[in-house]
Structure 1
Amino acid sequence: MFEEASEVFDNMFKSSFPLTFIVFIPAVLILVSPLPAEAAHEFTVYRMQQYDLQGQPYGTRNAILNTEARTVEAEVLSRRCVIMRLADFSYEEYQKALRQSAGAVVIILPKNMSAVPQDITSHDVCNGLLNTPFPSFHLMLATETIVPVYFAMEDDELLSIYTQTLTSSSSQGSLSAAEVLLHTATANGFQMVTSGAQSKAISDWAITSLEGRLAGVGGEDLPTIVVVAHYDSFGVAPWLSYGADSNGSGVSMLLELARLFSKLYTYKRTHAGYNLLFFVSGGGKFNYQGTKRWLEDNLDHTDSSLLQDNVAFVLCLDTLGNGDSLHLHVSKPPKEGSPQYSLLKELEMVVASQYPEVKFSMVHKKINLADDMLAWEHERFGIRRLPAFTLSHLPSHRLAQRSSIMDVRSDWQTLVVILCVALWPLTSVRSCCTAHLCHDTVPSSRQQVQEDQLSAVVDWLTAQPRAAQLVDKDSSVVSTLEYHLGHYLKDVKRHYVKADKRDPEFVFYDQLKQTMNAYRVKPAIFDLLLAVCIAAYLGMMYLAIQNFGVLYSVVRRITQPKTKTH
C-alpha cells in the first residue's frame, strides 16, 4: 500500500508543479499540526451542593456545562465559563459573574488544602471581611443559583489553561479596536464541556444512624447518660467534604469514650449504676434529621426505651479537634444539684487544675423555634425536654469552620487533652451516684487513652468524604462504625430515616462528581478568516493554472541568467 502511494506522489511531482503545490502544502500543514493530546485536557470536577431542606432549595440547580472559558478580568462574562483560582477568589467576584449571567463557574483549588489559612473568626464574618474564601463558600450556599458551579483540583495542565485564559481575558481591555479584532481572530480559547447529564432528585435515600449501650448495675430504673456525635460532614462541594474537625473529631472521641467505658464496665468494682447510651447520628448537617427520627422512635413509638426513663444528661460532641478553648453550649443553664450542674463544675475544676492552657466557658443560647436550622445538636433533645448540651471548641454555631471543604486532617495536639477533660467529669458524675466508686479506683484517663488508635480512627474518617448524599446504608463508613461500636457496646442497631414522599423534609440530588474536558478552540471569527484565506489561496491557484504559460515565461525570464555583451 505504501509503495503504491509513493508511486502516485512521485508521478504527481513529475507531471505538474501547480498540482503538487496545491496538494503538498496542506499535507505539510496537517503533519505539523498539534497532537490531539495537546489540544484537550480531561480532569475531574466536583459540583457545588444541591439539596432541598424544609422545602427551600439551596446550592446550584444546574449540572450541564458547554461554554467557552473566561476569567473575571474579561469585560464580557455572559454565557461564558468563568475560571477562578482559590488564591484570587472572592465573594464579590463570584457575584459579579452571576450578575453578568455567566454560563458557569469553575474554581481551581490548590493541591494542599491544609496550607490554606483558616484563621477566620466570627468577628471577621460579622464585619463583612469576605475577601477570603473561607467564609465566602459558606455564603455561596445561602441561596440557590441556576449557574452550574464546579470545583477542580489544580494540576499543571489546568494551571496552564487558566494562565492562557487569563492572558487572553486581561489583554483585551488595553488594545485598540483593530488589535482586539486581530487578537480575537488569532487567540486560542478553551471550550469547557461536562460529560454528565442534568441532575435529578435521588429517591428513597436513607440516612443511617447507629446506637449502642452499656447497661449499669444496681437495680432497675437507673439514670442514663447519652453521648452523641453526628458522623456526616458538610461543605460547599460534597465530594470535597472530609470534615476532619467537624465532625470527625467528635466521632473519634465518642468511639474512644465507648472503648474506655466498656473497659470500666467489664469489672464489678468499676461497674457504675448508670446506663450509658452512645448514638452516632446521620444527617447532622441537615438539621439533625437522624437525631430527630431517633427521638421520635424512642419517645413516641415505643413503650420501653432508655430515653423514656431517668436521663441524667445528653452530651453532644461537635468540632473538638482544633483550638485551645472549650465551650459548653447549653439551651438552659443547669440547676444547682443536678447531674448537669455537677458535670459543669467538674469541667471547670479539671480545666483549672490540670489543663490551664485550655480556656473553658459555658455559652447560653435559647432555642429559636422560628429558625429553619437548629444551632447545635443538643437543641433536638432540648425540644423534647431532655437535659442536653454540646461540647465544642467553637464559641458560636455561626462560624464557617463547621461547613468548610478546608476542614482537613491536621496535627491535633489538643484532641487528646480535651478528650481527657471530657472523660474525667463523666467518671466523676457517675461516681457521685455510686457509693462504692471513687476517683481513686478509676485509672487516670490520660494514661488510658490510646493515642495511636485515636489517631488511626481520625485518619480513617478523613480518608473519604462523608457528606450525607454520599453515605448510604451500604457505605463502608456506616459498616465500619457499626463494627467498632459492636466491639465495645451491646445491642448495637441501625436506625433509618427517609424523606416523606408527599412533603419531604430533605431532598438530595445526583451528578455531584463529573468529568470535564477543556478543548482548545478558535473563535468563530477565526473560521471566517480561515475561509477567506482558503478562498483567496484557491483563487490564486486557479488563476495560476489558467495562465500557467504566462506565469512560466515570467518565472523563466526572472530566473534566466543575463548574457554578457562584449
Structure 2
Amino acid sequence: MFEEASEVFDNMFKSSFPLTFIVFIPAVLILVSPLPAEAAHEFTVYRMQQYDLQGQPYGTRNAILNTEARTVEAEVLSRRCVIMRLADFSYDKYQKALRQSAGAVVITLPKNMSAMPQDIVQQFMELEPEMLATETIVPVYFAMEDDELLSIYTQTLTSSSSQGSLSAAEVLLHTATANGFQMVTSGAQSKAISDWAITSLEGRLAGVGGEDLPTIVVVAHYDSFGVAPWLSYGADSNGSGVSMLLELARLFSKLYTYKRTHAGYNLLFFVSGGGKFNYQGTKRWLEENLDHTDSSLLQDNVAFVLCLDTLGNGDSLHLHVSKPPKEGTPQYSLLKELEMVVSSQYPEVKFSMVHKKINLADDMLAWEHERFGIRRLPAFTLSHLPSHRLAQRSSIMDVRSVSPSSRHGAGEPPAGPHVDVKRLSRNTKVVAEALARVIYNLTEKGAPGDLQIFTEQMQVQEEQLSAVVDWLTAQPRAAQLVDKDSSVVSTLEYHLGRYLKDVKRHYVKADKRDPEFVFYDQLKQTMNAYRVKPAIFDLLLAVCIAAYLGMMYLAIQNFGVLYSVVRRITQPKAKAH
C-alpha cells in the first residue's frame, strides 16, 4: 500500500509542477520570512534651537528624520542617524557626524542631569554656544534616557564598533544577522511661527510727597535659554532674578502701605520677556515709554535702573556697569550702600563693581542694563557671575538642584548651575537693605551700617523664594514656548497684582518686513525606533529560499530514487538462520 501511495505522489509531482510551485512557495515564505518590523520603542525628542535674530539664522534647519541608527564609532555615518550619549559627547565627535553628512544626530541625556560629573556638565555648557553659533542643516535632537533607549544605543554601538575589526566575510555575516533600528520622526518639517508675541509685565508703587518724584526701576527677564528650548528651565538664569524681584515687590509694598514708611520714591517693577533674544521685551518697552507716550515714569526723573540676573548661588556679588557712577548721584549711593551692607552684615560675600563699555558692534548685548544705557538711563546689573560670557547663563544644565556648598570655593561660580535658596535669600536681603537705605537716605541720617530694616514680620521669606523658583523651573520658559496665554505669564501677572498697582502687559511682535526675530515650530516631536534587518539580509534570505526550492524540486523529480534510498536505509536487515 505504501508503494502505491508513493507512486501516486511521484506521478503528481512530475506531471503537476505548477501546482507544486503554488503549494510550496507560500508555505516556505510563511515559515522562513521574518516578522514584520515593529516599533521597538517610542520616545519624545526635543529639537535643537531654530531661530533667526537680526536676520542671522541659528541652530538646526531640519526637523524630519527617517534613517538607520549608528553610533559615532561607525566608519560610515553618511545618511545615518548618529546616536551619542552625553557622557561620551565631544565637539569633535559632533563635528565628525556633520562632516560626514549624517542624516541626524540624537544626543541622549540622563534623567537626573544634576547627578552628572561636574567636568562633563561644564564641558557641555561650554559647547552649547558653539553648537548654536551657526545654522546646521542636519536635524539635531535631544532625548531623555530610559532602559529601552539605552538598549537601542548598546545594540547599535556593538554593531557599529565591531565592523572595523572583522574580515570581509565576518562583516557580511554580522551585517546579515544583526538587528538594526530605523529612526523615524512623526512630525512635519519646521516652519516659521507668524505673529508670535513676547509678553512683558510692569507694576508700580507710587511714592509720596509730590508729583515730580525720582523713580527706581527694578528689572528681571523671565525667559530661559539653552541648546534645546523644551529642555531650558533657567533655574539660576533667570529664575533666581524673577524670584528676587517678586520678593522685593512684596517687601516694599508693605513699607509703602504705611504713612510712616511711605518713601518719596516711585518704584517701578518690570518683568521682561525675550531677554535671551537680545532683550527684545525691554527694547520695545523703552520705545513705548520714551518715544510714544507723554505719561511715563521713565520720562520723569529716573534715579537708576537695577537689573537682576543670575543671583541664586555663589558668595560673590558683582555690579556690572557700562559707565562708573559719579559721586553724589543716586546710582553712586546704591553702590556705596551695597558695599556697606555686605561689609557690615555679610562679610563672607565679596562685592565688586565690574566696568564694561557697551559694544554696539556686537550682535548680542552683554547685560540687560545695556538696553537702558543705550537710551541714556543710569542702569546696572547685579549678578553673582563676574562675566557675561559664562556658559551657565544659557544652558539646559541650569536646572533646579542643590549641590553641596563645600564643592565650590568662596566667590567661585559653581561648575554646574543650580539655585541655593539660602544664598538667594541672603542676596535678596542684601539688595532689599541697600535699596531701603537709598530710599530712606539712612546713611546721611547717620544710621549704622549693621542696621537691619527687614527683620521679624518684614524679613525675607526663604520658603516663598523657594516656592517661586520651584514653580518657575517646573516648566521650560524658552521665549518660543511662552505665549500671551501661557500660565507663566498669567501667574506672574497674578503675583505682581498682589503687591503692585497698575499692573499691565506689554507685547512685542516682530516686524513683518524686517523681523528682529523669527521663531520656528516642531521643537518637540515623537520618534519611533523600528527594529529592522539590513538589505543584505533580504538578499541572503532570497538565496536561501532559492536553494531550498531547488533542492525540493530535485527531490520531487527524483522521488522514486530518493524513496528507494530511504527504504533501503530504514528497512531492517533479514535475520540470518
TM-score (norm 2): 0.85
Structure 1 residue 565 and structure 2 residue 556: aligned? no
Tell me the distance in 2 between the aligned counterparts of 1:420 and 1:445: 18
Displacement of 1:353 after TM fit? 1.6
Whether the 8 Å contact between 1:67 and 1:81 is mirrored in structure 2 is: yes
What is the SS of the residue equivalent to 1:375? coil
Tell me the distance in 1 between the aligned counterparts of 2:133 and 2:183: 26
Alpha-carbon distance change, 560 to 167 in structure 1, aligned in 2, over 3 angstroms: same
Whether the 8 Å contact between 2:181 and 2:532 is mirrored in structure 1 is: yes
Tell me the distance in 2 between the aligned counterparts of 1:34 and 1:8: 35
* Unaligned 5+ runs, structure 1: 121-136, 428-443
Alpha-carbon distance change, 231 to 561 in structure 1, aligned in 2, over 3 angstroms: same
Alpha-carbon distance change, 332 to 527 in structure 1, aligned in 2, over 3 angstroms: same
Structure 1 residue 21 and structure 2 residue 21: aligned? yes
TM-score (norm 1): 0.86
Bigger CA drift: 34-43 or 268-277?
A: 34-43
Displacement of 1:243 after TM fit? 0.5
* Deviation per residue, 1:109-130 (Å, 9 max, x gap): 001012234579xxxxxxxxxx
Tell me the distance in 1 between the aligned counterparts of 2:165 and 2:22: 40
Partner of 2:512: 501
Alpha-carbon distance change, 215 to 181 in structure 1, aligned in 2, over 3 angstroms: same
Whether the 8 Å contact between 1:323 and 1:414 is mirrored in structure 2 is: no
Partner of 2:434: 420
Tell me the distance in 2 between the aligned counterparts of 1:415 and 1:115: 30
Displacement of 1:291 after TM fit? 0.2
Displacement of 1:547 after TM fit? 2.2
What is the SS of the residue equivalent to 2:257? coil
Alpha-carbon distance change, 160 to 9 in structure 1, aligned in 2, over 3 angstroms: farther
Partner of 2:417: none
Whether the 8 Å contact between 2:341 and 2:430 is mirrored in structure 1 is: no
Whether the 8 Å contact between 2:338 and 2:431 is mirrored in structure 1 is: no
Alpha-carbon distance change, 172 to 216 in structure 1, aligned in 2, over 3 angstroms: same
Displacement of 1:95 after TM fit? 0.7
Bigger CA drift: 78-87 or 35-44?
A: 35-44
Displacement of 1:545 after TM fit? 2.2
Displacement of 1:184 after TM fit? 1.5
Whether the 8 Å contact between 1:322 and 1:414 is mirrored in structure 2 is: no
* Deviation per residue, 1:403-430 (Å, 9 max, x gap): 1101111xxx999999989999999xxx
Partner of 1:43: 43
Structure 1 residue 82 and structure 2 residue 98: aligned? no
* Deviation per residue, 1:225-272 (Å, 9 max, x gap): 000000000000000001000111101110111111111100001100
What is the SS of the residue equivalent to 2:531? strand
Tell me the distance in 2 between the aligned counterparts of 1:217 and 1:119: 53
Alpha-carbon distance change, 517 to 274 in structure 1, aligned in 2, over 3 angstroms: same
Tell me the distance in 2 between the aligned counterparts of 1:546 and 1:446: 103
Alpha-carbon distance change, 7 to 506 in structure 1, aligned in 2, over 3 angstroms: farther
Displacement of 1:519 after TM fit? 0.7
What is the SS of the residue equivalent to 2:508? strand
Displacement of 1:31 after TM fit? 8.6
Moved segments of 4+, more than 3 Å: 1-39, 117-120, 413-427
What is the SS of the residue equivalent to 2:184? strand
Whether the 8 Å contact between 1:80 and 1:103 is mirrored in structure 2 is: yes
Alpha-carbon distance change, 30 to 53 in structure 1, aligned in 2, over 3 angstroms: same
Displacement of 1:543 after TM fit? 2.1
* Unaligned 5+ runs, structure 2: 121-127, 401-426, 444-454
Alpha-carbon distance change, 25 to 5 in structure 1, aligned in 2, over 3 angstroms: farther
Whether the 8 Å contact between 1:378 and 1:388 is mirrored in structure 2 is: yes
What is the SS of the residue equivalent to 1:158? helix
Displacement of 1:483 after TM fit? 0.6
Whether the 8 Å contact between 1:64 and 1:148 is mirrored in structure 2 is: yes
What is the SS of the residue equivalent to 2:440? helix
Tell me the distance in 2 between the aligned counterparts of 1:221 and 1:6: 117
Alpha-carbon distance change, 222 to 147 in structure 1, aligned in 2, over 3 angstroms: same
Displacement of 1:274 after TM fit? 0.2
What is the SS of the residue equivalent to 1:562? coil
Alpha-carbon distance change, 239 to 14 in structure 1, aligned in 2, over 3 angstroms: farther
Whether the 8 Å contact between 1:191 and 1:518 is mirrored in structure 2 is: yes
Whether the 8 Å contact between 1:253 and 1:419 is mirrored in structure 2 is: no
Whether the 8 Å contact between 1:347 and 1:425 is mirrored in structure 2 is: no
RMSD: 4.7
Tell me the distance in 2 between the aligned counterparts of 1:147 and 1:375: 30
* Deviation per residue, 1:431-472 (Å, 9 max, x gap): xxxxxxxxxxxxx38961111111111110000000000000
Displacement of 1:22 after TM fit? 11
Tell me the distance in 1 between the aligned counterparts of 2:134 and 2:521: 19
Whether the 8 Å contact between 2:38 and 2:530 is mirrored in structure 1 is: no
* Deviation per residue, 1:60-95 (Å, 9 max, x gap): 000010111111111111111110000000111101
Tell me the distance in 2 between the aligned counterparts of 1:419 and 1:41: 55
